[in-house]
Amino acid sequence: MSVSFASLHGRLIDLHLHSDGSISVPAARRLAELGGQPLAMSDAEVFDHLSVGDECEDLNEYLDKFWFPLSLIQTHEQVSENIYLLQEELRERGYAYAELRYAPQSLCERGLTQREVVEASLDGLRRSGFEARLILCCMRGADNLEANLETVELAAEYLGNEVVALDLAGAEALFPTVSFAPVFARARELGVPFTIHAGEADGPQSVRDALAMGAARIGHGVRAVEDPGLVRELAARQIPLEVCFTSEVQTGALQSYHHAESLRRLLDAGCLVTINSDNCSVSNTWAARELVVVAEALGLTQNEVDQLLLNAVEASFADEATKERLREVVGR
């Protein structure tokens, strides 16, 4: 039994979606105009600037694609419009809910403060009736502890119905997860829940380090399959895994012909797997496509795909009232 796009429309949940990596070609043109520098490129050229191809070799090359979209969201108007436009595009594609993540410190190159970035993103969020929440990303780096701690403080200050969590993103293999323990110790002190990118470019120890820090969810986490004991722990504790099938193949987290087998092992072990897009533009994908690709690769039934959607509801950082509404939408 094949899973159709029509069966997913209006029911899509995406928990791992980078707003800077999900700028469409029309949105890129609009953001460039707001910045006073209209794009003198064809749509195909803009697309090439936004997306990786099949030649992508690893996560570091994948991350190189972000310089262009980041250049388009450096003013209050651009940050706000980006969040607003993304929500409207998600609504049109049949999403019911999404958690949009970005790093405030990456949007300060033209004078904005991190606080101003957060305020701008909240402005964009509130201009749309689409149901979304924000996750603020800390970044992996060698000398950005102060900036990361500022992100943590802002997440605590704005924590509620709109900002719901923290994350750690960036070049995982170059900057090991354990190096950021002080950042997430502060998050724990302030009561801010968090997810951490782990088990993507680095191995299962990265996931163990994230769990030791108190991560409520794991971004990607697919390389946990290399450690059966860790897989058992993830299943026993029902730690959600934010799997992003296409991007994990593109970054080399798992080779394409091994990825389906590894994902099947995680599901069969009882892990709480969710399926997400990661970066709609960089990876040229979206939640429905990811679910269909995974369903075809693993031979899932419609009921099994429905369970993946329900997994996402339960794993979300949304409040209980929102989760109850989403259960009704997804379970219809």
| 45 has catalytic annotation | no
Domains of the chain, residue spans? 12-330
Phi, psi of 132 (to 5 degrees): -140, 160
Is pLDDT above 90 for 330?
yes
Query: pLDDT tens-digit profile of 117-171?
Result: 999 999 999 999 999 999 999 999 999 999 999 999 999 999 997 999 999 999 8
Residues 6+ apart with CB under 8 A from 11: 94, 96, 309, 329, 330, 332
Weakest-pLDDT range from 55-69, 86-100, 270-284: 55-69
pTM of the model: 0.96
Phi, psi of 99 (to 5 degrees): -110, 110
Pairing of strands 12-18, 241-243: unpaired
Closest CA to 289 of 95, 78, 142: 95
Catalytic residue among 81, 89, 172, 200: 200
Phi, psi of 143 (to 5 degrees): -140, 40
DSSP state of 278: B
Q: Under CATH, which architecture does the 12-330 domain have? A: Alpha-Beta Barrel (3.20)
* CB contact at 8 A, 288 and 93: yes
Written as one letter, the residue type at 292 is V
Average pLDDT over the chain reads 95
CA–CA gap between residue 112 and residue 108 (Å, rounded): 5
Residue indicated by tokens 């201009």: 127
Is pLDDT above 90 for 90?
yes
CB neighbours of residue 40 within 10 Å: 7
Which pLDDT score is estimated for 332? 64
